[in-house]
Chain A
Amino acid sequence: MTRTISVDHLARVEGHGGITVVLEGDEVRKVDFDIFEGIRLFEGLIRGRMMEDVTQIVSRICAICSTNHTITSLHALENALGILVTPQTRRLRDLAYQGANIESHALHVFVLGLPDLMGHSSVISLAGVIPDAVKIALRLKKLGNTIQEIVGGRAVHPVNYVIGGFGRVPSADELLSLRPQIQKGLEDCRQAIEVLRSVPIPNFVNEPIRCAAIAPEDEAFFFGNTIEVLDGGVRTRIPVGDYRKFTNEHLVPHSHAKHSFYEGRSYMVGALPRLTLNGDRIAGLARKAWEELNFAVPSSNILMNNIAQVIEMVYSVEHALHLVEEILDQGIVEEAPPPYKPHACAGAAATEVPRGTLFYSYEIDSEGRIAAADVITPTAQNLSNAEEQLVATVKQGLGAGASDSIIEQRLAIVARAYDPCISCSVHMVRA
């Protein structure tokens, strides 16, 4: 007898997706992570547009990580044009990345994820039970937004970033105004860790996770030119320019987003892989969070991605304070972006964004128009891996005698643990 377990419309995720599991007896026939968000064809739409105009357009791929889409797009254009940004610009972009990380992780962990772990349907009902914890989370989320606003001019779809620098460099006063807010954020992080200490992380799926992340080259954890894949204890390095070998995409009929494989097998990107590969960078209060929340890597429990996000959120608050101090110490300079001449060129870039590694590449013609564009988002890369975890969730649930309705709940929790961003995944990628 064939039966189906399905999550028709996944709640508390960004975008429109569902899960379909087809079973024959206790045999899993098929598990599909269905992506039915309308396709938006960004890479096709921006062909022929001036390179100065495209970054503000691709920002619209995703609201939550719009700062990240914006800056990664600029990195790719700058790499193509051979522009090196100043240390001040790099630090300010790094600061904006910490803001994005704080905002996105606070949103996912507390507003979208925590209700699962505490048996609630939403943060609204959670607010009725633990209002103080929800207020802390909202303050942290706001801090992430404020940082992004001060550097980028707007929290969602920033306006101030241009090729080579800024429309207007943030003033020393604006950066100074961040200092007390970040210090308050550290206090909020301490309390958030306390709240989360008492929240048990379920362990209903145990399946090894193959991890990938950018190998950081300097202080900036989220910027770099090499991807590392960790497979059975062995690290392989791939230059960002060769990203196509790595993300090797396939079309599948049930998804408006392509699936990624590396050497024929799935992999995961995101907070859990970053800490698995580069956890030695975590110190201070973030290290304390790591210990107090009993985090360990490698982990074969995908739900630990929620905890990895908490640790990264704390790291980002600490690193933001460090960056503000450093920028102020050096003295902020009102510098204009370097001049450049349009010429036929091509460039790629990758950065680590809240949900994992984001790739951009552009080909530019001699007049400075986009000849070809390619964007590969973390969620698109994670879809195959998520399907494998969903299969394991069904198999391990059936093995332990769980009912279909319990399995259905678990499927939604596992899918959400990836913090999928479905809008991002359907922007689509050229083959």
Chain B
Amino acid sequence: MKPKIGIYGFSGCWGEQIVILNCEDELMDLFGAVDIVDFLGGSSVNDTVSRLLIAFVEGSIANAREEAALRKVRDRSGLLVACGSCACFGGVAAMDARSPRAEVIRQVYGKNGPAASWDIGPHGPLSDFVKVDLNIPGCPIEKNEFLRVVSSLLNGDVPLMPAYPVCLECKMRENECLLIKRGLPCAGPVTVAGCNARCPGYNIACIGCRGPVDEANMGSIEKILEQKEYELDEIRRKLRTFAAPFLDRTESRG
């Protein structure tokens, strides 16, 4: 019998499910290798009870309904893999706003506000609620990294994930350094690799969409950018666009 897997999306842009569906060349093989039994984004008939080998989960958790659904997925899954920066770190919906959340809601919905019945909590990563076995970071995830993780897990291996920053891949591509040479606010030194330094390859400074690398030294990058005359508040908001809740817990200011 083929191993059963489930694919789930909570609050987010659906980017990870789209990247999975974008594996056009490999999709038929994937359908052959696993039984995707629960995938509301792709199927109107789903098995919502049987035991799963792996659950792939994208999106952040923003309300009680989502939290309850996530717990149900955790209970029936051998492995729970957080896919994308919303699921891994909180993502863009959890970034710092200039005003308190109640004020932001007022700015968006007007002074009459949203209905009292709405359940509108802040957005948190999956690990705020359940045990997560593996993070596939990225906004969105990289197709090849996803496929590599799937084949490793199906073969009983522990997937090898990069534990080095974007800078390393950028150097290997022999890109000119956007931070040092051009003085651009590049998040490459504190961002986990795996994208092959995609943005610097287009002369665009890394925006940190893959989230922080292990032991990211946020204090140091802030200092470098301050020396380049960027405002500290601006730098912080920039560096905390994709992983604010995660950084609140792990940040090292060495």
Contact of B92 among A13, A45, A47, A429 (CB under 8 A): A45
In the complex, the answer to whether B44 meets A11 with C-beta atoms within 8 Å is yes
Tell me the complex Cα distance, A366–B120, Å.
Answer: 33
Chain B residue at minimal CB-CB distance from A63: B15
Q: Check: A208 CB closer than 8 A to any chain B CB.
A: no
Chain B residue at minimal CB-CB distance from A13: B41
Tell me the complex Cα distance, A43–B92, Å.
Answer: 12
Q: Check: B12 CB closer than 8 A to any chain A CB.
A: yes
Q: Find the residue from B62, B63, B109, B199 having the highest chain A CB count within 10 A.
A: B109
Q: Check: A154 CB closer than 8 A to any chain B CB.
A: yes
Contact of B65 among A36, A60, A154 (CB under 8 A): A36
Report B-chain residues with C-beta under 8 Å of the C-beta of A298: none
Knowing A160-B202, A167-B203, say if A12 contacts B66 (CB, 8 Å): no
Q: Check: A127 CB closer than 8 A to any chain B CB.
A: yes
Q: Which 6 A-B pairs have the closest CB atoms?
A: A431-B110, A38-B62, A38-B11, A122-B43, A44-B104, A63-B15
Tell me the complex Cα distance, A11–B48, Å.
Answer: 13
Given contacts A38-B120, A139-B24, A159-B198, 13 further A-B contacts (CB under 8 A): A12-B42, A39-B105, A39-B120, A41-B105, A44-B104, A60-B13, A62-B13, A127-B28, A138-B25, A141-B24, A145-B24, A428-B108, A431-B111
Knowing A124-B42, A423-B13, A431-B109, say if A156 contacts B18 (CB, 8 Å): yes
In the complex, the answer to whether A122 meets B62 with C-beta atoms within 8 Å is no
Of B73-81, B95-103, B151-159, B215-223, the one with at least 4 CB within 8 A of chain A = B95-103
In the complex, the answer to whether B40 meets A157 with C-beta atoms within 8 Å is no
In the complex, the answer to whether B204 meets A159 with C-beta atoms within 8 Å is yes
Interface contacts (Cβ under 8 Å), in number, total: 199
Chain B interface extent, by class: 35 or more
In the complex, the answer to whether A157 meets B93 with C-beta atoms within 8 Å is no
Chain B residue at minimal CB-CB distance from A421: B14
Report B-chain residues with C-beta under 8 Å of the C-beta of A115: 43-44
In the complex, the answer to whether B24 meets A142 with C-beta atoms within 8 Å is yes
Chain A residue at minimal CB-CB distance from B10: A38
Of B127-135, B165-173, B234-242, the one with at least 4 CB within 8 A of chain A = B234-242
In the complex, the answer to whether A156 meets B198 with C-beta atoms within 8 Å is no
B192 CB to closest chain A CB (Å) equals: 16
Tell me the complex Cα distance, A64–B18, Å.
Answer: 7
CB-defined A-B contacts under 8 Å, sample of 24: A11-B43, A13-B41, A36-B65, A37-B11, A39-B62, A40-B11, A40-B92, A41-B93, A41-B105, A42-B93, A45-B95, A48-B98, A50-B234, A61-B13, A62-B13, A63-B13, A124-B36, A127-B28, A141-B24, A168-B201, A168-B202, A251-B115, A430-B110, A431-B110
B176 CB to closest chain A CB (Å) equals: 12
Q: Check: A388 CB closer than 8 A to any chain B CB.
A: no
B144 CB to closest chain A CB (Å) equals: 13
B193 CB to closest chain A CB (Å) equals: 15
Chain B stretch 227-254: residues in CB contact (< 8 A) with chain A? 234, 237-238, 241
Report B-chain residues with C-beta under 8 Å of the C-beta of A13: 41
Q: Check: B27 CB closer than 8 A to any chain A CB.
A: yes
In the complex, the answer to whether B204 meets A162 with C-beta atoms within 8 Å is yes
Contact of B22 among A12, A48, A56, A145 (CB under 8 A): A145
Chain A stretch 405-431: residues in CB contact (< 8 A) with chain B? 412, 423, 428-431
In the complex, the answer to whether A141 meets B22 with C-beta atoms within 8 Å is yes
Q: Check: A98 CB closer than 8 A to any chain B CB.
A: no
Q: Check: A302 CB closer than 8 A to any chain B CB.
A: no
Contact of A156 among B22, B42, B105, B241 (CB under 8 A): B22
Chain A interface extent, by class: 35 or more
Report A-chain residues with C-beta under 8 Å of the C-beta of B97: 41, 44-45, 47
Q: Check: B1 CB closer than 8 A to any chain A CB.
A: no
Contact mask for chain B residues 80-97; partner A; CB cutoff 8 A; 1 contact, 0 none: 000000000001110101
Tell me the complex Cα distance, A13–B115, Å.
Answer: 25
Chain B residue at minimal CB-CB distance from A40: B93
Knowing A121-B45, A430-B110, say if A153 contacts B104 (CB, 8 Å): no
Report A-chain residues with C-beta under 8 Å of the C-beta of B207: 53, 56
A234 CB to closest chain B CB (Å) equals: 32
Report A-chain residues with C-beta under 8 Å of the C-beta of B120: 38-39
In the complex, the answer to whether B109 meets A428 with C-beta atoms within 8 Å is yes
Q: Check: A356 CB closer than 8 A to any chain B CB.
A: no
In the complex, the answer to whether B27 meets A138 with C-beta atoms within 8 Å is yes
Q: Find the residue from A44, A107, A141 having the highest chain B CB count within 10 A.
A: A44
Contact of B15 among A121, A125, A142, A157 (CB under 8 A): A157
